Structure 1
Protein backbone atom coordinates (compact mmCIF):
# COMPACT_ATOMS: atom_id res chain seq x y z
CA UNK A 1 0.00 0.00 0.00
CA UNK A 2 2.80 2.39 0.90
CA UNK A 3 4.64 1.65 -2.35
CA UNK A 4 1.47 2.29 -4.33
CA UNK A 5 0.95 5.68 -2.68
CA UNK A 6 4.59 6.61 -3.23
CA UNK A 7 4.32 5.80 -6.92
CA UNK A 8 1.08 7.77 -7.18
CA UNK A 9 2.95 10.80 -5.87
CA UNK A 10 5.87 10.11 -8.26
CA UNK A 11 8.45 9.99 -5.45
CA UNK A 12 11.54 7.82 -5.17
CA UNK A 13 12.27 5.92 -1.97
CA UNK A 14 15.18 8.27 -1.30
CA UNK A 15 13.07 11.41 -1.75
CA UNK A 16 10.30 10.12 0.51
CA UNK A 17 12.76 8.91 3.13
CA UNK A 18 14.41 12.33 3.30
CA UNK A 19 11.05 14.06 3.63
CA UNK A 20 9.90 11.67 6.37
CA UNK A 21 13.20 11.77 8.30
CA UNK A 22 14.03 8.09 7.89
CA UNK A 23 16.52 6.06 5.83
CA UNK A 24 15.82 4.82 2.33
CA UNK A 25 17.04 1.39 3.49
CA UNK A 26 14.43 1.23 6.26
CA UNK A 27 11.74 2.51 3.89
CA UNK A 28 12.69 -0.21 1.40
CA UNK A 29 12.39 -2.83 4.14
CA UNK A 30 8.97 -1.48 5.11
CA UNK A 31 7.74 -1.62 1.53
CA UNK A 32 8.92 -5.21 1.07
CA UNK A 33 7.57 -6.38 4.44
CA UNK A 34 10.99 -7.00 5.99
CA UNK A 35 10.44 -4.36 8.65
CA UNK A 36 7.41 -3.18 10.62
CA UNK A 37 7.14 0.61 10.79
CA UNK A 38 6.21 2.41 14.00
CA UNK A 39 2.84 4.10 14.22
CA UNK A 40 4.60 7.48 14.16
CA UNK A 41 6.48 6.59 10.96
CA UNK A 42 3.29 5.46 9.21
CA UNK A 43 1.68 8.81 10.03
CA UNK A 44 4.78 10.76 8.92
CA UNK A 45 4.92 8.89 5.63
CA UNK A 46 1.18 9.38 5.06
CA UNK A 47 1.56 13.08 5.77
CA UNK A 48 4.43 13.47 3.30
CA UNK A 49 2.45 11.53 0.67
CA UNK A 50 -0.66 13.62 1.31
CA UNK A 51 -2.73 10.48 1.80
CA UNK A 52 -6.42 11.27 2.44
CA UNK A 53 -7.57 10.77 6.03
CA UNK A 54 -9.72 7.70 5.40
CA UNK A 55 -6.87 5.95 3.59
CA UNK A 56 -4.45 6.90 6.40
CA UNK A 57 -6.59 4.79 8.70
CA UNK A 58 -6.27 1.93 6.19
CA UNK A 59 -2.47 2.26 6.21
CA UNK A 60 -2.39 2.18 10.01
CA UNK A 61 -4.60 -0.91 10.19
CA UNK A 62 -2.47 -2.67 7.55
CA UNK A 63 0.56 -2.00 9.78
CA UNK A 64 -1.27 -3.44 12.81
CA UNK A 65 -2.33 -0.22 14.52
CA UNK A 66 -5.69 1.28 15.48
CA UNK A 67 -7.16 4.00 13.24
CA UNK A 68 -6.15 7.55 14.11
CA UNK A 69 -9.16 9.43 12.76
CA UNK A 70 -12.84 9.33 13.70
CA UNK A 71 -15.73 9.65 11.25
CA UNK A 72 -18.46 11.56 13.06
CA UNK A 73 -21.92 11.91 11.51
CA UNK A 74 -22.63 15.54 10.70
CA UNK A 75 -25.80 15.35 12.81
CA UNK A 76 -23.86 14.66 16.05
CA UNK A 77 -23.68 17.44 18.66
CA UNK A 78 -19.90 17.78 18.34
CA UNK A 79 -20.41 18.77 14.71
CA UNK A 80 -22.81 21.60 15.56
CA UNK A 81 -20.26 24.38 14.92
CA UNK A 82 -19.21 22.98 11.57
CA UNK A 83 -22.83 22.40 10.62
CA UNK A 84 -23.69 25.98 11.56
CA UNK A 85 -20.79 27.28 9.47
CA UNK A 86 -22.01 25.33 6.45
CA UNK A 87 -25.56 26.62 6.92
CA UNK A 88 -24.31 30.20 7.14
CA UNK A 89 -22.19 29.84 4.03
CA UNK A 90 -25.02 28.33 1.98
CA UNK A 91 -27.65 30.83 3.13
CA UNK A 92 -25.27 33.75 2.78
CA UNK A 93 -24.46 32.81 -0.80
CA UNK A 94 -28.09 33.22 -1.94
CA UNK A 95 -29.24 34.37 -4.47
CA UNK A 96 -26.40 32.43 -6.12
CA UNK A 97 -26.25 28.59 -6.12
CA UNK A 98 -24.13 26.69 -3.61
CA UNK A 99 -23.69 22.93 -3.06
CA UNK A 100 -22.04 20.67 -0.48
CA UNK A 101 -20.47 17.50 -1.91
CA UNK A 102 -18.93 14.44 -0.28
CA UNK A 103 -15.86 12.53 -1.46
CA UNK A 104 -17.94 10.49 -3.94
CA UNK A 105 -19.39 13.65 -5.57
CA UNK A 106 -22.74 13.06 -3.89
CA UNK A 107 -24.84 16.10 -3.09
CA UNK A 108 -25.28 16.46 0.68
CA UNK A 109 -26.72 19.94 0.93
CA UNK A 110 -27.78 22.78 -1.39
CA UNK A 111 -29.07 26.29 -0.87
CA UNK A 112 -32.43 27.45 -2.20
CA UNK A 113 -31.00 29.14 -5.28
CA UNK A 114 -29.41 25.88 -6.44
CA UNK A 115 -32.85 24.33 -6.66
CA UNK A 116 -33.80 26.68 -9.50
CA UNK A 117 -31.32 24.91 -11.78
CA UNK A 118 -32.89 21.47 -11.32
CA UNK A 119 -36.19 22.03 -13.09
CA UNK A 120 -36.84 19.34 -15.70
CA UNK A 121 -34.31 16.83 -14.38
CA UNK A 122 -35.38 13.17 -14.47
CA UNK A 123 -36.88 12.12 -11.13
CA UNK A 124 -34.62 9.08 -10.95
CA UNK A 125 -31.52 11.31 -10.85
CA UNK A 126 -32.96 13.28 -7.92
CA UNK A 127 -33.34 10.28 -5.62
CA UNK A 128 -30.80 10.35 -2.76
CA UNK A 129 -27.93 10.02 -2.86
CA UNK A 130 -27.93 12.56 -5.70
CA UNK A 131 -24.63 12.40 -7.58
CA UNK A 132 -23.61 15.73 -9.07
CA UNK A 133 -21.61 14.16 -11.92
CA UNK A 134 -24.55 12.04 -13.04
CA UNK A 135 -26.84 15.02 -12.62
CA UNK A 136 -24.68 17.21 -14.86
CA UNK A 137 -23.69 14.72 -17.56
CA UNK A 138 -26.66 12.37 -17.92
CA UNK A 139 -28.74 13.05 -21.08
CA UNK A 140 -31.87 13.14 -18.87
CA UNK A 141 -30.23 15.41 -16.33
CA UNK A 142 -28.87 18.93 -16.79
CA UNK A 143 -26.90 18.04 -19.93
CA UNK A 144 -29.56 19.09 -22.51
CA UNK A 145 -29.73 22.56 -20.92
CA UNK A 146 -25.96 23.12 -20.66
CA UNK A 147 -25.23 25.35 -23.64
CA UNK A 148 -21.46 24.67 -23.67
CA UNK A 149 -21.91 21.00 -22.80
CA UNK A 150 -18.80 19.70 -24.59
CA UNK A 151 -16.58 22.23 -22.84
CA UNK A 152 -18.18 21.70 -19.41
CA UNK A 153 -18.05 17.92 -19.85
CA UNK A 154 -14.29 18.03 -20.44
CA UNK A 155 -13.90 20.13 -17.28
CA UNK A 156 -15.99 17.78 -15.11
CA UNK A 157 -14.39 14.59 -16.42
CA UNK A 158 -10.93 16.04 -15.91
CA UNK A 159 -11.80 17.03 -12.35
CA UNK A 160 -13.25 13.59 -11.64
CA UNK A 161 -10.26 11.79 -13.15
CA UNK A 162 -7.81 13.86 -11.08
CA UNK A 163 -9.77 13.29 -7.86
CA UNK A 164 -9.90 9.54 -8.50
CA UNK A 165 -6.16 9.38 -9.14
CA UNK A 166 -5.24 11.57 -6.17
CA UNK A 167 -7.41 9.76 -3.61
CA UNK A 168 -7.27 6.20 -5.03
CA UNK A 169 -11.04 6.15 -4.56
CA UNK A 170 -12.50 3.16 -6.41
CA UNK A 171 -15.98 4.70 -6.30
CA UNK A 172 -14.71 7.71 -8.25
CA UNK A 173 -12.94 5.49 -10.75
CA UNK A 174 -16.17 3.54 -11.36
CA UNK A 175 -18.13 6.78 -11.55
CA UNK A 176 -15.71 8.13 -14.16
CA UNK A 177 -16.11 4.99 -16.28
CA UNK A 178 -19.89 5.34 -16.04
CA UNK A 179 -20.40 9.04 -16.78
CA UNK A 180 -17.70 9.25 -19.46
CA UNK A 181 -19.76 6.71 -21.39
CA UNK A 182 -22.98 8.74 -21.39
CA UNK A 183 -24.16 9.73 -24.84
CA UNK A 184 -24.22 13.40 -25.77
CA UNK A 185 -27.63 15.11 -25.52
CA UNK A 186 -29.55 15.16 -28.78
CA UNK A 187 -28.52 18.11 -30.90
CA UNK A 188 -25.13 18.52 -29.19
CA UNK A 189 -22.17 18.14 -31.50
CA UNK A 190 -19.17 16.08 -30.43
CA UNK A 191 -16.09 18.35 -30.74
CA UNK A 192 -13.51 17.67 -33.43
CA UNK A 193 -10.76 15.45 -32.08
CA UNK A 194 -13.14 13.32 -30.01
CA UNK A 195 -15.47 13.57 -27.04
CA UNK A 196 -12.69 14.46 -24.59
CA UNK A 197 -11.24 17.40 -26.53
CA UNK A 198 -12.48 20.95 -26.63
CA UNK A 199 -10.90 24.20 -27.77
CA UNK A 200 -10.52 26.72 -24.95
CA UNK A 201 -10.97 30.42 -25.51
CA UNK A 202 -7.71 32.07 -24.49
CA UNK A 203 -9.61 35.18 -23.37
CA UNK A 204 -11.58 33.30 -20.67
CA UNK A 205 -10.49 33.74 -17.05
CA UNK A 206 -12.33 30.52 -16.11
CA UNK A 207 -14.42 27.90 -17.90
CA UNK A 208 -18.04 29.00 -17.42
CA UNK A 209 -21.10 26.88 -16.88
CA UNK A 210 -23.59 28.21 -19.41
CA UNK A 211 -27.05 26.82 -18.73
CA UNK A 212 -30.63 27.51 -19.74
CA UNK A 213 -32.69 28.12 -16.57
CA UNK A 214 -35.40 30.45 -15.24
CA UNK A 215 -36.32 31.27 -18.84
CA UNK A 216 -32.89 32.72 -19.57
CA UNK A 217 -29.37 31.80 -20.54
CA UNK A 218 -27.30 31.94 -17.36
CA UNK A 219 -23.52 31.86 -17.02
CA UNK A 220 -21.50 30.92 -13.91
CA UNK A 221 -17.98 30.30 -12.73
CA UNK A 222 -17.44 28.32 -9.55
CA UNK A 223 -15.09 28.06 -6.57
CA UNK A 224 -14.36 25.10 -4.30
CA UNK A 225 -14.00 25.46 -0.51
CA UNK A 226 -12.77 22.85 1.98
CA UNK A 227 -12.22 22.84 5.74
CA UNK A 228 -8.65 23.72 6.68
CA UNK A 229 -6.80 21.26 8.96
CA UNK A 230 -9.74 18.91 9.61
CA UNK A 231 -9.27 16.22 12.27
CA UNK A 232 -12.37 14.20 11.35
CA UNK A 233 -13.01 12.20 8.18
CA UNK A 234 -16.49 13.67 7.69
CA UNK A 235 -15.18 17.23 7.51
CA UNK A 236 -12.11 16.24 5.51
CA UNK A 237 -14.30 14.77 2.77
CA UNK A 238 -16.71 17.69 2.37
CA UNK A 239 -16.33 20.22 -0.44
CA UNK A 240 -18.48 23.33 -0.84
CA UNK A 241 -18.93 24.52 -4.43
CA UNK A 242 -20.19 28.06 -4.83
CA UNK A 243 -21.33 29.47 -8.17
CA UNK A 244 -20.97 33.13 -9.12
CA UNK A 245 -22.57 35.03 -12.01
CA UNK A 246 -20.20 35.39 -14.95
CA UNK A 247 -22.19 38.26 -16.46
CA UNK A 248 -24.58 41.01 -15.41
CA UNK A 249 -27.65 39.32 -16.89
CA UNK A 250 -27.16 36.22 -14.74
CA UNK A 251 -26.86 38.33 -11.59
CA UNK A 252 -30.01 40.28 -12.47
CA UNK A 253 -32.07 37.15 -13.19
CA UNK A 254 -31.01 35.42 -9.96
CA UNK A 255 -31.69 38.47 -7.79
CA UNK A 256 -35.09 38.89 -9.38
CA UNK A 257 -35.96 35.22 -8.91
CA UNK A 258 -34.85 35.24 -5.28
CA UNK A 259 -37.06 38.24 -4.51
CA UNK A 260 -40.18 36.74 -6.09
CA UNK A 261 -40.09 33.15 -4.74
CA UNK A 262 -42.17 32.22 -1.70
CA UNK A 263 -39.47 30.84 0.58
CA UNK A 264 -42.04 29.59 3.10
CA UNK A 265 -42.90 26.74 0.73
CA UNK A 266 -40.86 23.49 0.90
CA UNK A 267 -38.00 23.24 -1.56
CA UNK A 268 -38.71 20.91 -4.52
CA UNK A 269 -37.53 17.36 -3.95
CA UNK A 270 -36.58 18.11 -0.33
CA UNK A 271 -32.98 18.50 -1.48
CA UNK A 272 -32.06 21.43 0.74
CA UNK A 273 -30.82 19.01 3.44
CA UNK A 274 -29.58 15.54 2.54
CA UNK A 275 -27.37 14.61 5.48
CA UNK A 276 -29.54 11.56 6.21
CA UNK A 277 -29.35 10.23 2.65
CA UNK A 278 -27.87 6.70 2.38
Structure 2
Protein backbone atom coordinates (compact mmCIF):
# COMPACT_ATOMS: atom_id res chain seq x y z
CA UNK A 1 0.00 0.00 0.00
CA UNK A 2 1.33 3.49 -0.83
CA UNK A 3 2.66 5.60 2.03
CA UNK A 4 2.91 9.42 1.80
CA UNK A 5 6.46 10.70 1.41
CA UNK A 6 6.20 12.84 4.53
CA UNK A 7 5.82 9.69 6.69
CA UNK A 8 9.33 8.72 7.80
CA UNK A 9 8.62 6.26 10.62
CA UNK A 10 10.27 8.51 13.19
CA UNK A 11 6.79 9.59 14.30
CA UNK A 12 6.14 6.37 16.24
CA UNK A 13 6.47 6.04 20.00
CA UNK A 14 10.03 5.59 21.21
CA UNK A 15 9.14 2.33 22.98
CA UNK A 16 7.82 0.89 19.71
CA UNK A 17 10.91 2.11 17.90
CA UNK A 18 13.03 0.30 20.48
CA UNK A 19 11.11 -2.93 19.85
CA UNK A 20 11.82 -2.60 16.14
CA UNK A 21 15.57 -2.41 16.73
CA UNK A 22 15.65 -6.21 16.66
CA UNK A 23 14.96 -5.96 12.90
CA UNK A 24 17.34 -4.95 10.10
CA UNK A 25 17.26 -1.17 9.73
CA UNK A 26 15.55 -1.04 6.32
CA UNK A 27 12.91 -3.51 7.46
CA UNK A 28 12.43 -1.65 10.74
CA UNK A 29 11.88 1.59 8.82
CA UNK A 30 9.28 -0.04 6.56
CA UNK A 31 7.42 -1.50 9.54
CA UNK A 32 7.57 1.82 11.38
CA UNK A 33 6.08 3.72 8.44
CA UNK A 34 3.20 1.25 8.20
CA UNK A 35 2.56 1.54 11.93
CA UNK A 36 2.47 5.33 11.59
CA UNK A 37 -0.24 4.94 8.94
CA UNK A 38 -2.20 2.61 11.22
CA UNK A 39 -2.17 5.20 13.99
CA UNK A 40 -3.00 8.02 11.57
CA UNK A 41 -6.05 6.30 10.03
CA UNK A 42 -7.37 4.28 12.96
CA UNK A 43 -10.18 6.66 13.98
CA UNK A 44 -11.32 8.04 10.63
CA UNK A 45 -10.55 5.17 8.26
CA UNK A 46 -10.44 1.86 10.17
CA UNK A 47 -10.38 -0.24 7.01
CA UNK A 48 -7.43 1.75 5.69
CA UNK A 49 -5.64 1.31 9.01
CA UNK A 50 -6.40 -2.40 8.87
CA UNK A 51 -4.75 -2.65 5.46
CA UNK A 52 -1.51 -1.06 6.68
CA UNK A 53 -1.55 -3.25 9.79
CA UNK A 54 -1.65 -6.37 7.62
CA UNK A 55 1.44 -5.17 5.76
CA UNK A 56 3.27 -4.56 9.04
CA UNK A 57 2.16 -7.98 10.26
CA UNK A 58 3.59 -9.70 7.19
CA UNK A 59 6.90 -7.91 7.71
CA UNK A 60 7.29 -8.39 11.47
CA UNK A 61 4.77 -10.74 13.06
CA UNK A 62 7.13 -11.53 15.94
CA UNK A 63 7.14 -7.96 17.25
CA UNK A 64 4.59 -7.45 20.02
CA UNK A 65 3.89 -3.83 19.06
CA UNK A 66 2.98 -4.95 15.55
CA UNK A 67 0.59 -7.61 16.88
CA UNK A 68 -1.00 -5.02 19.16
CA UNK A 69 -1.41 -2.50 16.33
CA UNK A 70 -2.94 -5.21 14.14
CA UNK A 71 -5.32 -6.03 16.98
CA UNK A 72 -6.51 -2.46 17.35
CA UNK A 73 -6.96 -2.08 13.59
CA UNK A 74 -9.05 -5.26 13.45
CA UNK A 75 -11.00 -4.14 16.54
CA UNK A 76 -11.79 -0.75 14.97
CA UNK A 77 -12.99 -2.61 11.84
CA UNK A 78 -15.22 -4.84 14.01
CA UNK A 79 -13.22 -7.95 13.15
CA UNK A 80 -13.43 -9.09 16.74
CA UNK A 81 -12.22 -12.66 16.36
CA UNK A 82 -9.10 -11.51 14.54
CA UNK A 83 -8.55 -8.69 17.02
CA UNK A 84 -8.79 -11.07 19.97
CA UNK A 85 -6.23 -13.41 18.42
CA UNK A 86 -3.78 -10.54 17.90
CA UNK A 87 -4.27 -9.19 21.42
CA UNK A 88 -3.70 -12.64 22.89
CA UNK A 89 -0.51 -12.98 20.86
CA UNK A 90 0.75 -9.59 22.08
CA UNK A 91 -0.08 -10.52 25.67
CA UNK A 92 1.83 -13.79 25.37
CA UNK A 93 4.88 -11.97 24.02
CA UNK A 94 4.99 -9.28 26.69
CA UNK A 95 3.22 -10.79 29.70
CA UNK A 96 1.46 -7.41 30.00
CA UNK A 97 -2.22 -7.30 31.05
CA UNK A 98 -2.96 -3.81 29.66
CA UNK A 99 -4.98 -5.30 26.81
CA UNK A 100 -7.28 -7.26 29.14
CA UNK A 101 -10.27 -4.84 28.95
CA UNK A 102 -10.25 -4.60 25.15
CA UNK A 103 -9.91 -8.38 24.94
CA UNK A 104 -13.02 -8.65 27.11
CA UNK A 105 -14.81 -6.20 24.83
CA UNK A 106 -13.93 -8.41 21.86
CA UNK A 107 -15.78 -11.20 23.65
CA UNK A 108 -18.79 -8.90 23.79
CA UNK A 109 -18.41 -8.18 20.09
CA UNK A 110 -18.44 -11.92 19.43
CA UNK A 111 -21.74 -12.25 21.31
CA UNK A 112 -20.21 -13.70 24.47
CA UNK A 113 -21.02 -11.17 27.23
CA UNK A 114 -20.84 -13.88 29.91
CA UNK A 115 -17.20 -14.49 28.96
CA UNK A 116 -16.53 -10.75 29.27
CA UNK A 117 -18.02 -10.80 32.77
CA UNK A 118 -15.80 -13.74 33.70
CA UNK A 119 -12.81 -11.72 32.58
CA UNK A 120 -14.01 -8.75 34.65
CA UNK A 121 -13.65 -10.91 37.74
CA UNK A 122 -10.28 -12.42 36.83
CA UNK A 123 -7.04 -11.77 38.79
CA UNK A 124 -5.61 -9.84 35.82
CA UNK A 125 -7.93 -6.94 36.61
CA UNK A 126 -6.08 -6.25 39.87
CA UNK A 127 -2.87 -5.75 37.89
CA UNK A 128 -4.39 -3.01 35.76
CA UNK A 129 -3.66 0.66 36.41
CA UNK A 130 -6.50 3.04 37.28
CA UNK A 131 -7.34 3.77 33.64
CA UNK A 132 -7.41 0.05 32.85
CA UNK A 133 -9.70 -0.68 35.79
CA UNK A 134 -12.12 2.02 34.70
CA UNK A 135 -12.07 0.60 31.18
CA UNK A 136 -12.78 -2.86 32.57
CA UNK A 137 -15.71 -1.43 34.53
CA UNK A 138 -17.13 0.09 31.34
CA UNK A 139 -16.83 -3.23 29.51
CA UNK A 140 -18.47 -5.12 32.37
CA UNK A 141 -21.36 -2.66 32.48
CA UNK A 142 -21.80 -3.07 28.73
CA UNK A 143 -21.87 -6.84 29.16
CA UNK A 144 -24.55 -6.50 31.84
CA UNK A 145 -26.64 -4.45 29.44
CA UNK A 146 -26.08 -7.04 26.70
CA UNK A 147 -27.86 -9.65 28.80
CA UNK A 148 -30.61 -7.25 29.92
CA UNK A 149 -29.34 -6.53 33.44
CA UNK A 150 -29.82 -2.75 33.41
CA UNK A 151 -29.86 -2.26 37.18
CA UNK A 152 -26.70 -4.32 37.54
CA UNK A 153 -25.05 -2.23 34.81
CA UNK A 154 -25.87 0.94 36.74
CA UNK A 155 -24.44 -0.48 39.95
CA UNK A 156 -21.30 -1.63 38.11
CA UNK A 157 -20.58 1.93 37.02
CA UNK A 158 -21.07 3.41 40.48
CA UNK A 159 -17.53 3.89 41.73
CA UNK A 160 -15.19 6.43 43.35
CA UNK A 161 -14.03 7.39 39.85
CA UNK A 162 -17.61 8.26 38.87
CA UNK A 163 -18.17 10.34 42.00
CA UNK A 164 -14.84 12.19 41.80
CA UNK A 165 -14.95 15.90 40.96
CA UNK A 166 -11.57 15.87 39.27
CA UNK A 167 -11.54 15.32 35.50
CA UNK A 168 -9.40 12.45 34.23
CA UNK A 169 -9.03 11.08 30.68
CA UNK A 170 -11.74 8.51 31.38
CA UNK A 171 -14.19 10.79 33.24
CA UNK A 172 -16.36 11.86 30.28
CA UNK A 173 -16.82 8.32 28.99
CA UNK A 174 -17.60 6.96 32.45
CA UNK A 175 -20.22 9.64 33.12
CA UNK A 176 -21.66 9.17 29.65
CA UNK A 177 -22.01 5.41 30.11
CA UNK A 178 -23.69 5.96 33.47
CA UNK A 179 -26.14 8.51 31.99
CA UNK A 180 -26.94 6.18 29.10
CA UNK A 181 -27.61 3.27 31.45
CA UNK A 182 -29.89 5.46 33.60
CA UNK A 183 -31.81 6.55 30.51
CA UNK A 184 -32.20 2.94 29.34
CA UNK A 185 -33.66 2.14 32.78
CA UNK A 186 -36.20 4.95 32.44
CA UNK A 187 -34.55 7.28 34.97
CA UNK A 188 -34.63 10.31 32.69
CA UNK A 189 -34.08 13.14 35.18
CA UNK A 190 -30.99 11.42 36.61
CA UNK A 191 -29.77 10.65 33.10
CA UNK A 192 -30.05 14.33 32.16
CA UNK A 193 -27.97 15.29 35.19
CA UNK A 194 -25.19 12.87 34.27
CA UNK A 195 -25.20 13.79 30.58
CA UNK A 196 -24.67 17.37 31.73
CA UNK A 197 -21.75 16.23 33.90
CA UNK A 198 -20.33 14.31 30.96
CA UNK A 199 -20.47 17.48 28.85
CA UNK A 200 -18.48 19.33 31.52
CA UNK A 201 -15.76 16.68 31.43
CA UNK A 202 -15.72 16.12 27.66
CA UNK A 203 -13.04 18.62 26.70
CA UNK A 204 -12.03 16.96 23.45
CA UNK A 205 -15.47 15.96 22.17
CA UNK A 206 -14.93 12.24 22.62
CA UNK A 207 -18.65 11.65 23.23
CA UNK A 208 -21.90 13.06 21.86
CA UNK A 209 -23.07 13.97 25.37
CA UNK A 210 -24.02 17.51 24.33
CA UNK A 211 -26.32 16.16 21.60
CA UNK A 212 -27.91 13.67 23.99
CA UNK A 213 -28.48 16.44 26.53
CA UNK A 214 -30.06 18.70 23.94
CA UNK A 215 -32.30 15.84 22.82
CA UNK A 216 -33.54 15.34 26.38
CA UNK A 217 -34.21 19.08 26.64
CA UNK A 218 -36.25 18.98 23.44
CA UNK A 219 -33.88 21.17 21.46
CA UNK A 220 -34.12 20.73 17.69
CA UNK A 221 -31.24 21.59 15.39
CA UNK A 222 -32.11 23.16 12.03
CA UNK A 223 -29.80 22.91 9.07
CA UNK A 224 -28.43 26.40 8.34
CA UNK A 225 -28.57 25.77 4.58
CA UNK A 226 -32.26 24.92 4.82
CA UNK A 227 -32.86 28.14 6.74
CA UNK A 228 -31.07 30.16 4.06
CA UNK A 229 -33.18 28.57 1.36
CA UNK A 230 -36.37 29.37 3.28
CA UNK A 231 -35.30 33.01 3.69
CA UNK A 232 -34.88 33.58 -0.05
CA UNK A 233 -37.84 35.43 -1.63
CA UNK A 234 -39.58 33.31 -4.26
CA UNK A 235 -39.28 34.45 -7.85
CA UNK A 236 -42.53 35.90 -9.31
CA UNK A 237 -44.47 33.33 -11.30
CA UNK A 238 -43.93 33.39 -15.04
CA UNK A 239 -47.68 33.48 -15.52
CA UNK A 240 -47.83 36.93 -13.91
CA UNK A 241 -45.03 38.16 -16.15
CA UNK A 242 -46.95 36.95 -19.19
CA UNK A 243 -50.08 38.71 -17.97
CA UNK A 244 -48.20 41.98 -17.56
CA UNK A 245 -46.77 41.62 -21.06
CA UNK A 246 -50.25 40.97 -22.50
CA UNK A 247 -51.67 44.01 -20.73
CA UNK A 248 -48.86 46.15 -22.12
CA UNK A 249 -49.49 44.78 -25.59
CA UNK A 250 -53.20 45.62 -25.35
CA UNK A 251 -52.41 49.14 -24.21
CA UNK A 252 -49.99 49.62 -27.10
CA UNK A 253 -52.40 48.23 -29.67
CA UNK A 254 -55.38 50.40 -28.62
CA UNK A 255 -54.16 53.62 -30.23
CA UNK A 256 -53.60 51.79 -33.54
CA UNK A 257 -57.24 50.74 -33.67
CA UNK A 258 -58.35 54.35 -32.99
CA UNK A 259 -56.17 55.62 -35.86
CA UNK A 260 -57.89 53.21 -38.27
CA UNK A 261 -61.31 54.45 -37.18
CA UNK A 262 -60.25 58.04 -37.71
CA UNK A 263 -59.03 57.26 -41.23
CA UNK A 264 -62.34 55.60 -42.10
CA UNK A 265 -64.26 58.62 -40.84
CA UNK A 266 -62.10 60.91 -42.94
CA UNK A 267 -62.72 58.74 -46.04
CA UNK A 268 -66.47 58.92 -45.47
CA UNK A 269 -66.36 62.72 -45.14
CA UNK A 270 -64.36 63.00 -48.36
CA UNK A 271 -66.98 60.98 -50.27
CA UNK A 272 -69.79 63.16 -48.90
CA UNK A 273 -67.97 66.31 -49.90
CA UNK A 274 -67.68 65.01 -53.46
CA UNK A 275 -71.40 64.45 -53.53
TM bracket, shorter-chain basis: under 0.3
- After TM superposition, the score normalised by the length of structure 1 is 0.21
Higher helix fraction (1 or 2): 2
Structure of higher CA gyration radius: 2
- After TM superposition, the score normalised by the length of structure 2 is 0.21
Give the number of the structure with larger relative contact order, counting CA–CA contacts within 8 Å between residues 6 or more apart.
1
Higher strand fraction (1 or 2): 1
